[in-house]
Amino acid sequence: MARPRTPLLSRERIVAAALRLIDEEGLDTLSTRRLATELSVSGPSLYNHFATKDELLDAVVDSVIGEVDLSMFAAVEGEAGAGGTRWPEALREWARSYRAALAAHPNIVPVLAQGPGRRPNALRLADAVFGHLVEAGWPRGQATRIGALMRYFVTGSALASFAAGFPADAEVYDAADYPHLGEAHRLAGHRGSVDEGAFETGLEALLDGLALRFARLPARP
Amino acid sequence: MARPRTPLLSRERIVAAALRLIDEEGLDTLSTRRLATELSVSGPSLYNHFATKDELLDAVVDSVIGEVDLSMFAAVEGEAGAGGTRWPEALREWARSYRAALAAHPNIVPVLAQGPGRRPNALRLADAVFGHLVEAGWPRGQATRIGALMRYFVTGSALASFAAGFPADAEVYDAADYPHLGEAHRLAGHRGSVDEGAFETGLEALLDGLALRFARLPARP
DNA sequence: ACCTGAACACCGTTCAAGT
DNA sequence: ACCTGAACACCGTTCAAGT
């Protein structure tokens, strides 16, 4: 068959199929051969569109980050220089969108958590958060730290379900060994509300703690 | 050669060598054959000690979690039932030890973050945190959420360096695309202090926010 | 330019054979 | 019980060959 008149593949089609396989079967089970079969081509065909599997994974990761809403960081008329007070609301909305985008694809989070690298959507995200915080009145060093700690919290919460990490088998929790885990086998059954509640509690606690620090900032020149 | 008079391998030796390879070369590059070579045996020998590679990884993960200090959760005479006020200090010390243990082995964090499973050290850790918070006066549902959100934050902070995720190459940060990242190429050079500062800032913000919530708790019966 | 089959150097794991 | 070599069904990637 060799080269068809109209290409069988495109980067977009490959990325979409790869993400679906990663979601459904895990990162470890994704192979270039399996992915090619899914796309009805032979294994080496993918190398016409991506130099390596890593480059393909990078594209998958950036497509996920592209789903994060950044519109809340758009400049607000008159806020710059006035000592912003809307940054907590913006961070809250962003963190929720960020977590939702990642939690929809938990198997890819370990790759994504390695940092932005040269991926455009990841760099755009870092730029938007940092820029907003600085314009709201945070010193640059503090703004960097807030960007970092928010990523720690969001990626940690999207990496895996806390509740689902506890086996539903009650026999695991021998009272002699783990005196306080007698109800832990019920956690997995309430997976959604436990993880959602933990995320919201942590997010609000973080924002409250940061607001305390913002109020203590020396007045700017 | 067949069976030697004294065994060449033990679970402990295998786990130690595996952790060293994971630290030095990454999780993906760890293969049973490479590990066996490192231990001067043939590939299949490992299967006399672990049923699968996953079981071996589980043992590696639990050995790392075994390094986390839990002594700050030991019962304090007279605190139970009195409305503890030392839980923030205990959580702070624990979070630092937890992060230190994980950050020493970042490549294994994605495995570990999947939850305790049936690993004894991970279950002991969950038991200690939850038990301490409940005895300090937190309602059980809240204590669960705090255990979860602390794990989110700590695993997120240990998974990867925030600072090192930004390429040190200044040309990546085109001002037209990323107007606020002009200094981002310097981040990797300050990797230690940026990540440490972000972790400490986030930890203190979380503890402050949780203390506000603790103060608002209705008086217990 | 874009696809193919054949090939190379790897994997995790099984199993019969040795002591 | 604990190690070995041979084998099976996989990997990621390269490359010459086809249109």
In this predicted structure, what is the pLDDT of residue B116?
98
Enclosing H/E stretch for B54: helix B53-65
Q: Worst-scoring range by mean pLDDT, A9-23, A44-58, A81-95, B206-220?
A: A81-95
* Mean pLDDT, rounded, for B12-32: 98
Q: Which residue of chain B has the CA closest to A157? A: B152
Find all residues with CB under 8 Å of A127, minimum gap 6, and list them. B177, B178, B179, B180, B181
Which of A65, A91, A149 to substitute to test the interface with B, most B CBs within 10 Å?
A: A149
Find all residues with CB under 8 Å of B129, minimum gap 6, and list them. B73, B91, B94, B146, B147, B150
Q: What are the pLDDT digits (tens) for B153-206?
A: 999 999 999 999 999 999 999 999 999 999 999 999 999 999 999 999 999 999
In this predicted structure, what is the pLDDT of residue A25?
97
Q: What are the pLDDT digits (tens) for A159-209?
A: 999 999 999 999 999 999 999 999 999 999 999 999 999 999 999 999 999
* Mean pLDDT, rounded, for B26-43: 98
| Cβ atoms within 10 Å, residue A72 | 17
In this predicted structure, what is the pLDDT of residue A139?
98
In this predicted structure, what is the pLDDT of residue A1?
64
Q: What are the pLDDT digits (tens) for A47-63?
A: 999 999 999 999 999 99
**Domains along chain A with CATH numbers:** 11-51 (1.10.10.60), 72-215 (1.10.357.10)
* SS3 call for B140: helix
Q: What are the pLDDT digits (tens) for B51-76?
A: 999 999 999 999 999 999 999 998 66
In this predicted structure, what is the pLDDT of residue A156?
98
In this predicted structure, what is the pLDDT of residue B76?
62
Could you tell me the pLDDT band of residue B78, with boundaries at 50, 70 and 90?
low
In this predicted structure, what is the pLDDT of residue A118?
97
Could B120 and A149 be called an inter-chain contact, meaning their C-beta atoms sit closer than 8 Å?
Answer: no
* Chain A CB within 8 Å of residue B104 CB: no
In this predicted structure, what is the pLDDT of residue B120?
98
Backbone angles phi, psi at A117, to 5 degrees: 55, -130
| Residue at token pair 């002991």 | B124
Chain B contacts in chain A segment 35-54 (CB below 8 A): none
A53 strand D contact, CB < 7 Å: yes
Q: Kindly provide the b/e burial profile for residues A74-113, where b requires at least 16 CB atoms within 10 angstroms of the residue's own CB.
A: eeeeebeeeebeebbebbbebbebbbebbbebbbbbbbbb
Chain A CB contacts of B146 below 8 Å: 198, 201
Chain A CB contacts of B159 below 8 Å: 110, 113, 155-156, 159
A164 token code pair: 């689902």
Q: What are the pLDDT digits (tens) for A111-168?
A: 999 999 999 999 999 999 999 999 999 999 999 999 999 999 999 999 999 999 999 9
Chain B CB contacts of A118 below 8 Å: 167, 172
* Cα–Cα distance for residue pair B199/A133, rounded to 1 Å: 18
Q: What are the pLDDT digits (tens) for B104-158?
A: 999 999 999 999 999 999 999 999 999 999 999 999 999 999 999 999 999 999 9
Strand D: positions under 7 A of a protein C-beta atom:
1-7, 10-19
Nearest protein residue to nucleotide D11 (CA to C1' distance) is: A31
Could A208 and B212 be called an inter-chain contact, meaning their C-beta atoms sit closer than 8 Å?
Answer: yes
In this predicted structure, what is the pLDDT of residue B2?
77
Smallest Cβ–Cβ distance between B178 and the set A127, A173, A202 belongs to: A127
* Chain A CB within 8 Å of residue B107 CB: no
In this predicted structure, what is the pLDDT of residue A2?
76
In this predicted structure, what is the pLDDT of residue A83?
57
In this predicted structure, what is the pLDDT of residue B49?
98
Enclosing H/E stretch for B144: helix B140-159
Smallest Cβ–Cβ distance between A181 and the set B123, B178, B212 belongs to: B123
In this predicted structure, what is the pLDDT of residue B219?
82
* Mean pLDDT, rounded, for A22-45: 98
In this predicted structure, what is the pLDDT of residue B96?
98
Percent of chain B that is helix, strand, coil (3-state, to 5): 65, 0, 35
